[in-house]
Amino acid sequence: MTGITVTGTAGVEARPDLARIHLGVQAEAATAAEAMAALETRVTAVTGALRAAGLGDGDLRTAHLSVGQRYSNAGTPDGYVAGCATAATVRDLDRVGAILDAAITAGADRVDGLSMEIADPSGAYARALALAVDDAREKAAGLAAAAGLELGAIEAVAEGASTAGGPPVPFAAELRSAKGMPVEPGEHTVTATVTVRFATSSGSPTRP
């Protein structure tokens, strides 16, 4: 008995159903305490606007907080700047534009990134796995035929790396011109890879 080991790959298209937005807020003042106080006021306004727009507490997360000295063009200390990044999860993609509008109007001055995701890719991934096994079987059949072997049953199968989703959508630092921007989710490819070993046997001898 011999065997053939092949790798099969397949992808299934699925439509994203949630978005993750990273919003930035910044404040400057003469002292660190004043900068942080001003930042707190602005962040409270932004998160309040996001809640009013329909996001729950579980949809908001503080992703980054910083405070540091500000310097003049001459390179000398000139006050302090404080910044905060808030990650917002939007579960209704039709609301992404309205959520951005609300955040910008309330004082957000940056969108550091927006990514579309599939909340539960398991169904699409299961379909991709089945197609990946089919792909492996087709490759193995071709190899067996080329080598004059009979393809047998699967002896072993191993799951490889998988992917689900697409690249983040970049945004410029200045957002005022982006208000009302339509956001199109498109489709993402959920990909599965498998390594499969098939049993083989010697093929029937060729008759003259």
Residues 70-98: pLDDT tens digits? 999 999 999 999 999 999 999 999 899 89
Phi-psi category of residue 148: left, alpha or beta, with phi > 0 → left and psi -120 to 50 → alpha: left
53 and 85 inside one domain: yes
Minimal CA–CA distance to 108: which of 183, 176, 165? 176
90 and 164 inside one domain: no
User: Edge to edge, what strands does the sheet with 110-117 contain?
Assistant: 60-71, 77-90, 18-29, 110-117
Final residue belonging to a domain, choices 54, 88, 117: 117
Final residue belonging to a domain, choices 117, 134, 165: 117
What is the domain range of residue 157? 1-16+119-208
109 and 137 inside one domain: no
95 and 12 inside one domain: no
**pLDDT digit string (tens) for 11-65?**
999 999 999 999 999 999 999 999 999 999 999 999 999 999 999 999 999 999 9
Looking at residue 49, which CATH number applies to its domain? 3.30.70.2970
Residue keyed to tokens 């329909």: 54
Looking at the structure of the chain, the number of domains it has is 2
- Is the pTM here over 0.75, yes or no? no
Name the band, by pLDDT with cuts 50, 70 and 90, for residue 6. Answer: very high
Final residue belonging to a domain, choices 84, 117, 150: 117
